[in-house]
Amino acid sequence: MGITLVQLQGLCASEGFPKFTAKQMCDWLYKKRVDTIDAMTNLSLAQRARLNEVACIGRHTPVNCQVSRDGTKKYLFMVPSEGTWRATSASKDAPSTADVARHVPTAGIEAVYIPDDDRATLCVSCQVGCKMGCRFCVTGRQGFHGNLSAGDILNQLFSIPEFESLTNVVFMGMGEPMDNLDAVLDACAVLTSDWGLGWSPKRITVSTVGILPGMKRFLDECQCHLAVSLHNPVPQERLAMMPVQKAFPLNQVLALLRQYDWSGQRRLSFEYTMFRGENDDLAHAAKLAEALQGLECRVNLIRFHESDEAPYKTSMPSTIAAFQNYLNRHGVTCTLRASRGQDIDAACGLLAGKNA
């Protein structure tokens, strides 16, 4: 899981398999979605035997599922604890299934399935925890415990019973996608390439707090939508909420984004969580409208989901409405994202693998 066509061609070359075998394996992995190598029946018995010695599919089912009153489902997956096996292995390859079972500690990551009329979105994780340390995010407060492989990311889609109904995927779960960009790009390649699932890039949105080197590479190499976590247009106030502001200031993030064309298929959005008395008055709305002036984008307002671990409160509905109306009147398209799954800690900023 997660290996691209080019990487499979490299595997075939190293094992002495014909080059076309890589395309056959892609078909089995991503179109037919087999969970054993022995199911790849147009590979020879000798090829399958050799693959069983050096590889595994990498599919694993969720160990728990919580269902919200609104139909949202939160799936818990157990993955290898990266800090143990990658630090001690001479190979960058993942451990075998048997090694994981015997030796490798595991950690919990979560994915959220969100049905909504004719849409069904899966919010996937890309890391165990997060390094970014945003003060309002429960995931960030647990610290960083490892990167997921592209296979671990894709497994969140392939191993849930609702896979066939999925219309969209958002990289907005645990972790910062630009901090694990190789795996995220490989996962997006599997989702959008003709040798993979063949989805339109318009079905995928990748989020970031504004890691400039990763953002530039993502924008140059991928056509999926981008969502930037903004949350406060005032530099010092944003820094108090989001440590990333020190390394990659918002003005530099916006300057980079203005270098790209957003009038076509790819969409740019900004995530803005509303904190009572912190960033929700009309003065902040005015500064936000000024910062985004002339940039083809939309702002998604998010109700803050309170927790014992974050020092903020939720904005009043009337305040959110006034903020939204101000932006729309001043030329910035603004919507309010519906809160889903809050009763099972599946809403924005609440994923933490607590049930692991």
Instruction: Tell me the catalytic residues.
Output: 110, 348
CA 334 to chain centre: 22
Tokens encoding 210: 């504004």
- CB of 305 closer than 8 Å to CB of 315: no
Beta-strand pair 73-80/64-67: antiparallel
Return the H-helix or E-strand segment holding 138: helix 138-141
Instruction: Tell which residue, 244, 340, 332, 228, has the closest CA to residue 288.
Output: 332
SS3 for 171-202, per residue? ECCCCCHHHHHHHHHHHHHHHHCCCCCCCCHH
Alpha helical stretches, state H, 159-299: 181-192, 212-221, 235-241, 244-247, 250-257, 282-292
